Chains A and B, each alone.
Chain A
Amino acid sequence: MKFKVPERLQPTIREIKFILRRIKDTPLSLFGIAIVMFFVVIAAFAPLLAPPVPGLNPYLIPSDPALGFRVEPSPPSPKHPFGTTLLQRDIYYGCIWGTRWAFQVALEVIIPIVAIGVVLGLIAGYYGGVIDEILMRFTDIILAFPGLILAMCLVTVLTQANWTTIDSVLLSIVLIGWPGYTRLIRGETLRVRNEDYIEAARASGASDLRIMFRHILPNTIYSIIIVASLDFGGIVLTTAALSFLGLGAPTGWADWGRLIYDGMSFVSGGLRWWWSWVYPGVFISLFVLGWSLLGDALRDVLDPLYRRK
């Protein structure tokens, strides 16, 4: 007997088929997805690819005592495929666990940002009036700063108040990130607020909360997915920039930006110690590239303005 898809799910299946066909037709999208999948696999299997020293924080890159505690990097060898950096820390280990760390940072930042954006954006767009005005003026103020510079200022201030640098970096990126999403979701809410089906829901006695989360939110989900995936790499890039400025993960932490920062001390040697900054740099560039291609692909597929072209 053939399995029969329930009538109700037919449009969803058709939609998924359409999306898959569109993705298959654009090689750049496939490339983006492949890169992101590659990093997902690395992050998921980090403990197998680069086994951590038992009993230590796996995000701390172990030093190789066999090479002594020399400061200068050692070149790639069978034992250290990407070579070592400052104090003989293994770069391969740092790149692998750095991938897992990048995902962790991006998720820890993007989840609160989207949550804040959804709640405030829905409230501003749905109720309008004074609440909307206040929220929007507040986003204006935060968006008046170039993001990285406000983040830099926040990290400086928070560390003065005895926060750890990693926590203050995460919080500062959340604080500079939420206004964008609030505005996006507010705009989407305004777009659908006066549709007939919202009116119908209201007439049938649905509460404001139900209308916002059951009727408006599902209509904004595509835009959220597109922007969030375009942002995923951007967040990691901002964190890396802060790390590069010395504001972020401490030395020895498996963080791509920090590895590059440590590697910069060896740039005076020209290309002599190239591996100390090239490998982490390639990892971060590929990561950001993958997410931005994936975001573009999702936009082509999901955004009604682009999809049928």
Chain B
Amino acid sequence: MGLREYIIRRLILLIPVALGVIVLIFALLQVVPPTRRVFVFLSGNPRELNPEVLKSYIHMYGLDQPVWVQFAVWLNQLLHGNLGFSEITGPVLENLLRRAPATIEIVIYSAPLIILIGIWAGVNAAVKRDKPFDHVSRVLSVLGTSMPSFFFGIALSAIFIATLKWTGTGRLSPNLDSHLTTLRGLGQWHDYTNMVTIDALLNGRLDYFIDGLKHLVLPVTVLVFINTATLVRVARSSMLEALSKTYIIAARAKGLSQKEVVYKHARRNALIPVVTLAGLIVGGMMTGLVITETVFQFPGLGSWAAYAAQRFDVPVVAAYALFSAIVFVLANLIVDILYAYIDPRIRLG
């Protein structure tokens, strides 16, 4: 089986899962009474929302019809990109798109750090097995999995934001943030990507870049600390296994230096199973973002979902669950393809 056939097969297998995810969310929504459920169907921005109008909407979207009719209507809405209307924050899709850049910005900074630090620490811990480095990294990774991310976040926030005042909550300092409107009016600031640090660089504003970066340090630290732990453990045990293989003994017997043995022979093979963890990390990030953004009042998707959940705002929570499941499934797909690309045994086996 070639790589192309493998990818096609994986894509076909994706359809039932994606459909299942949609059906599951729909089934959950059935628990909610129609007067609340109707908000998941509403498109655009309904001006008036009195009981009379709601009743007409319930009729319009077929909520008084059998379940499969409702499902068909809802699926149709989804396929047209309509995710419903939230009484608290307004049209769901609009908010999702507006808040996505802030979250993507956090991910852009944390994901590479998680991967680099995780692999570096795991490989080094294995090479220096039972030495101080190994012990320290193991203690840190145990802490990373045991300590709740919100506890760690609160501690950082109390020390660095409230006490030392090194940085603040949100994306920018209040004075810079409010000045942004003026800059936009003067045409000195263009929103290219809506990611603060990147836009700052594109607009040539170093002060905004540094301020944005300072606001990212703490949330990124929490996400990295929590998500690196598993990666370190897996990279370490995978590296230990690779180091005990016969080809390593052969490489050593050939007279290669320790450096060449470790980095050229062992590490390459050890990293293959580590790739599969990338999917898990994406899942961990989606969860971690909800907590981290809430702690640091960062206006991204995670804090939006948490804010909605606290107010039992069904359309937003359902849309976020759907969104994160799709992202998670796609991430796993990419991981599988990458894995098959790196390790031919997968697609040939």
Q: Is the interface of B mostly helix, strand, loop or mixed?
A: helix
Is B151 in contact with A284, judged by CB distance below 8 angstroms?
A: yes
The answer on a CB contact under 8 Å between A140 and B17 is yes
> B21–A141 contact, CB under 8 A?
yes
Contact, CB under 8 Å: B287 / A154: no
Residues of B within 8 A of A148 (CB): 287, 290
**A288-B142 Cα distance, complex, nearest whole Å:** 10
Closest to A230 in B: B145
Does B148 lie within 8 Å of A152, measured CB to CB? Answer: no
How many chain A residues sit at the interface, stated as a range, is 35 or more
**How does the 8 Å CB contact mask read for A128-145 relative to B, with 1 for contact and 0 for none?**
000000000110111011
Interface string of A143-156 (1 = CB under 8 A from B): 01111111011111
Instruction: Kindly identify which residue among A141, A158, A277 contacts B17, using a CB–CB cutoff of 8 Å.
Output: A141
Give complex CA distance A209, B28 in Å: 33
The answer to whether residues A277 and B154 also contact, given A137-B16, A245-B306 and a CB cut-off of 8 A, is: yes
Interface string of A18-49 (1 = CB under 8 A from B): 00000000000000000000000000000000
Residue of A nearest to B157 (CB): A267
Interface string of B318-340 (1 = CB under 8 A from A): 10110011001100000000000
Residue tally, chain B, CB below 8 Å to A: 53
- Select which of B31, B36, B150 is within 8 A of A241 by beta carbon: B150
Complex interface residues of chain B between 1 and 29 (CB less than 8 A to chain A)? 16-17, 20-21, 23-25, 28-29
Contact with B324, one of A145, A154, A284 (Cβ below 8 angstroms): A145
* Stretch of A104-112, A187-195, A268-276 on the interface side: A268-276
> Which of B104-112, B116-124, B181-189, B308-316 interfaces with chain A?
B308-316
Contact, CB under 8 Å: A270 / B321:
no
When distances are taken between beta carbons in the complex, the residues of chain B under 8 Å from A141 are 17, 20-21, 23-24
Closest residue of chain B to A163 (Cβ to Cβ) is B31
With both beta carbons as reference points, the residue of chain B lying nearest to A261 in the complex is identified as B150
Any A CB within 8 A of the CB of B286:
yes
Assuming the contacts A245-B310, A292-B145, asked whether A144 and B33 have C-beta atoms less than 8 A apart, the reply is no
The 8 Å CB contact of A144, one of B17, B157, B158, is B17
What CA separation (Å) do A153 and B287 show in the bound complex?
Answer: 12
B346, CB-defined interface residue at 8 Å: no
Contacts of B24 in A (CB 8 A): 141-142
Query: Considering the complex, which residues of chain B in the window 23-43 have a beta carbon less than 8 Å from any beta carbon of chain A?
Result: 23-25, 28-29, 31-33, 36
From residue 270 to 298 of chain A, which have CB atoms closer than 8 A to chain B? 270-271, 274, 277-278, 281, 284-286, 288-289, 292-293
Given the interface contacts A144-B328, A145-B328, A153-B317, does A161 sit within 8 Å of B32 by beta carbon? yes
Determine the chain B residues whose CB is within 8 A of the CB of A245 once the complex forms: 290-291, 294, 306, 309-310
Q: A177: CB under 8 A from chain B?
A: no
A267 touches B158 (CB 8 A): yes
Which residues of chain A are near B126, meaning CB under 8 Å? none
Are the C-beta atoms of A270 and B163 separated by less than 8 Å?
Answer: yes
Is A227 at the interface (CB under 8 A from chain B)? no
Instruction: Establish whether residues A268 and B162, one from each chain, have CB atoms under 8 Å apart when the complex forms.
Output: yes
Q: How far is the CB of A192 from chain B (nearest CB, A)?
A: 24
CB of B249 closer than 8 Å to a CB of A = no
- Compute how far the CA of A39 lies from the CA of B45 in the bound complex, rounded to whole angstroms: 52
B305 to chain A: which residues have CB within 8 Å?
A: 149, 152
- Interface assignment of B206: CB less than 8 Å from any CB of chain A: no
Q: Given A148-B287, A244-B148, A269-B162: A153 and B28 within 8 A (CB)?
A: yes
Q: How far is the CA of A268 from the CA of B157 in the complex (A)?
A: 8
Q: How far is the CA of A148 from the CA of B284 in the complex (A)?
A: 9
Q: Which residues of A contact B294 (CB under 8 A)?
A: 244-245
What chain A residues lie within 8 Å of B21 (beta carbons)? Answer: 141, 144-145
Residue A170 at the chain B interface, CB threshold 8 Å: no
Q: Which of B29, B148, B162, B324 contacts A240 (CB 8 A)?
A: B148
- Decide if A260 is an interface residue (CB 8 Å cutoff): yes
State the main secondary structure of chain A at its contact with B.
helix
> Which of A149, A284, A286 has its CB near the most chain B CB atoms (within 10 A)?
A149
Contacts known (A245-B294, A263-B154, A269-B162); A153 close to B284, Cβ less than 8 A? no
Residues of chain B lying within 8 A (CB to CB) of residue A269: 162
Check if B151 sits within 8 Å of A154, measured CB to CB: no
B147 interfacial by beta-carbon distance below 8 Å? yes
The reply on A246 being an interface residue by CB < 8 A is yes
A142: chain B residues at CB < 8 Å are 24
A63 in the interface (beta carbon within 8 A): no
Q: Which residues of A contact B283 (CB under 8 A)?
A: 146-147
Residue of B146, B158, B290 near A289 (CB, 8 A) is B146
Given A146-B286, A153-B25, A267-B154, A246:B148 Cβ within 8 A = no
Cα of A224 to Cα of B28 in the assembled complex, Å? 29
Q: Does A125 contact B (CB under 8 A)?
A: no
Complex: A97 Cα to B283 Cα, angstroms: 32
B72 close to chain A: CB less than 8 A: no
**Residue B155 interfacial (CB < 8 Å):** yes
The yes or no answer to B67 lying at the interface (CB within 8 A) is no
Bound-complex Cα distance A146 to B322 (A) = 10
Residues of B within 8 A of A (CB): 16-17, 20-21, 23-25, 28-29, 31-33, 36, 142-143, 145-151, 154-155, 157-159, 162-163, 283-284, 286-287, 290-291, 294-295, 305-306, 308-310, 312-314, 317-318, 320-321, 324-325, 328-329
The 10 closest A-B pairs by CB, nearest first: A270-B162, A141-B20, A270-B163, A281-B151, A289-B146, A153-B321, A288-B146, A246-B310, A146-B283, A148-B287
Q: Can you show 24 pairs from A to B with CB atoms below 8 A apart?
A: A137-B20, A141-B17, A144-B21, A144-B325, A144-B328, A144-B329, A149-B320, A149-B324, A149-B325, A152-B306, A153-B25, A153-B309, A156-B312, A157-B32, A161-B32, A237-B148, A245-B290, A245-B291, A245-B310, A247-B310, A260-B150, A264-B295, A271-B163, A281-B151
- A157-B318, A263-B154, A285-B146 are known; give 15 further A-B pairs, CB within 8 A: A146-B324, A147-B283, A149-B286, A150-B321, A152-B306, A152-B321, A158-B31, A244-B291, A245-B290, A245-B291, A260-B150, A270-B163, A271-B162, A277-B155, A292-B146
